[in-house]
Amino acid sequence: MADTLTFDVVVLGAGPAGSAAAKRAADRGLSVALIDRSVFPRHKLCGALISPRANKAIRDVHGMEMPEDMYLPSRSVEFKWNGEVLRDIEAPYDLTYSNRIDFDHWLRNSALEAGAVNMEGTRVAAFLDAENALELADGTRIEYGVLIGADGAASPLAKHLFGQAFDNDKIAFAFEAEADQPCDGEKDALMSIDFRIVRWGYGWNFPKRKTRTIGLGGIKSVDQDLKALMAQYLELEGVDPDSVKVKGAHLPGGDYKKRPGRENILLVGDAAGFVDAITGEGIALAIESGAMAGDAAAEALAADRPRRAEKFYFAAVKSIQAELDKVRRIRGIVYAEAFEKHFKDRLRHSDWVGTAFFDVLAGNQTYAEVEKRFAQKAFTSALKGVAAWPSKMRRKRAS
Ligand SMILES: Cc1cc2nc3c(=O)[nH]c(=O)nc-3n(C[C@H](O)[C@H](O)[C@H](O)COP(=O)(O)OP(=O)(O)OC[C@H]3O[C@@H](n4cnc5c(N)ncnc54)[C@H](O)[C@@H]3O)c2cc1C
C-alpha cells in the first residue's frame, strides 16, 4: 500500500514564492513539505534583475544577503525608444543582476535549512480538496492543513481551483535569450530598457557576469508578432538572432486574482498573478506574498481553523493588490498611443519619471505616490479615460 505523509503546510513550487512560504511556515514551527516537479538547481526563464525591494524581502524573510559572487551590481541605465537612445541615467543605488539557477537554489536551501522537507522531482497526480490531501504520481498520499500554490504563471493548482490558470487575453508573453557577452566589471555593465520595441510591454538588455540577458514581453492579445520583434530587437542590441537560443514563457500582465485561493488553499507569486505590469518585476512580490501565506497558515492553524487561512491571507495581500490596481491605471497612460509622444518626451527629459522608475523598484515610492504625482501633473482626466487593457485599444483600431 502507498505511503501517507502528513504536514501542517504543503507548498507546491519551490521558486521564490514557494521558498518564502515554506521558510516562514517552518520558522513559525510548522511541519512543511516543499514540492517541486523539477530537481534543483533548475533553470527559470527570467531577466533576474533582483530589485532593491526584492533584496529587502530576502533580508526580511530569509535573513540573508545575496553572496557577492551571485550577482553583478550596476547603476548604469539607458532608456531607449525602438533602438534610439533617449537618455543615460545613473540609478540612485545598485541594481543587482543574478541568474535564477543559483538564486532560486539558494532561496530554496534556506527553506530546507529552516526545516521544510525537500520533495523535488515530484509530480502531483490529483488534488483531493475535500480530504485536505493530494496524491503524487508514485501513489503517495500527502495530507495537509494548508496547501500553498506557488507553482508559477501556468499554475496547475490555480487551474484546478478556477478552471484556468490565467485569462488568455490578459496574460503577457515574453521571449528571452542569453547572449555570450560577459560583463567584466561594473564599467561595462550597462542595462537598457526599450520602451517602444513592443506595444503594451518593453524590451530589456541586462548585464550579467557571464552573459547578457536580452528579452521582450508584452500583453499577448495585442496584435503584434512578438517573435519577429524579438529578432529585430536582438539585431538592434548587436546580437545575431541566429547565434542565440530564444525561449518564451508566460508571465502575469496585471490580471492578478482578486481572491487568490479558497479556504485552506492559497495562491502566491505568479500563481496569483502578482507581477508589476509596468516594470515586469515579480520576484519581490513572490517573496512578499509567499511570506504572507506562510503567516496566514500559521495563524489559521494556531486557531485550529485551517479553512480560515484565506481570511488572514486575503487581508494581508490587499496591500499588494491595491498597488497592482494603481500599476494598471498608470500603465494605461504609459502605453496608450495617444500619449506616445508625451511619454517619450518625459522619458528623455523628466528627472521625475527617471527617478520614479527606480524608486518603485526600490520600494521607496509606492504607485499611490506615483499616481498622485501624475494627477498633479494634470493627467487626472486622462487617467479616467484611458483603457487599462489593450483589447479596448484593438477594438478601437479595428473600427
Ligand atoms: C522572461 C521573463 C523575465 C522576467 N524578468 C524578471 C526580472 O528581471 N525581475 C523580476 O523580479 N521578475 C522577472 N520576471 C518575473 C519572475 O520570473 C516571476 O514573477 C517569479 O519567478 C515568480 O516566482 P514564483 O515563485 O511565483 O514562480 P516561479 O519562479 O515560476 O516558480 C514556480 C515553481 O513551481 C514549479 N512547478 C510548476 N508546476 C508545478 C507542479 N505541477 N508541481 C510542482 N511544482 C511545479 C516550477 O518548477 C517552479 O520551480 C520575469 C519573467 C519572465 C517570464
pLDDT per position as a tens digit, 75-90: 999 999 999 999 999 9
Q: Given this chain, do its domains 4-62+100-167+257-320 and 68-99+169-251 carry the same CATH topology?
A: no
Q: How far apart are CA 234 and CA 393, in angstroms?
A: 27
Distance 59 CA to ligand 1 centre (A): 20
CATH code assigned to 4-62+100-167+257-320: 3.50.50.60
Distance 41 CA to ligand 1 centre (A): 14
- Give the tens place of pLDDT for each residue, 308-320: 999 999 999 999 9
The CATH number for 68-99+169-251, chosen from 3.40.50.280, 3.40.50.2000, 3.40.1130.10, 3.30.9.10, is 3.30.9.10
Task: Identify the residue whose C-alpha is closest to ligand 1 atom 1.
Answer: 46
- Give the tens place of pLDDT for each residue, 342-383: 889 888 988 888 788 788 777 776 777 777 776 665 455 455
Q: How far apart are CA 135 and CA 2, in angstroms?
A: 10
Mutate which of 19, 39, 43, 44 for ligand 1 pocket (most atoms within 8 A of beta carbon): 44
- Give the tens place of pLDDT for each residue, 112-136: 999 999 999 999 999 999 999 999 9
The residues spanned by each domain of the chain are 4-62+100-167+257-320, 68-99+169-251, 324-398
**Does any ligand 1 atom lie closer than 6 A to the CB of residue 156?**
yes
Q: Does residue 52 have a cis bond before it (omega within 30 degrees)?
A: no
Q: Is pLDDT above 80 for 177? A: yes
Instruction: Let me know: does 97 contact 208? Beta carbons within 8 Å.
Output: yes
Q: Which atom of ligand 1 is nearest to the CA of 35?
A: 43
- β-strands 265-267, 141-149 pairing: parallel
Q: pLDDT over 70 for what percent of the chain?
A: 92
The band of 399, judged by pLDDT with boundaries at 50, 70 and 90, is very low
Q: Which of 216-225, 343-352, 386-395 ranks highest by mean pLDDT?
A: 216-225
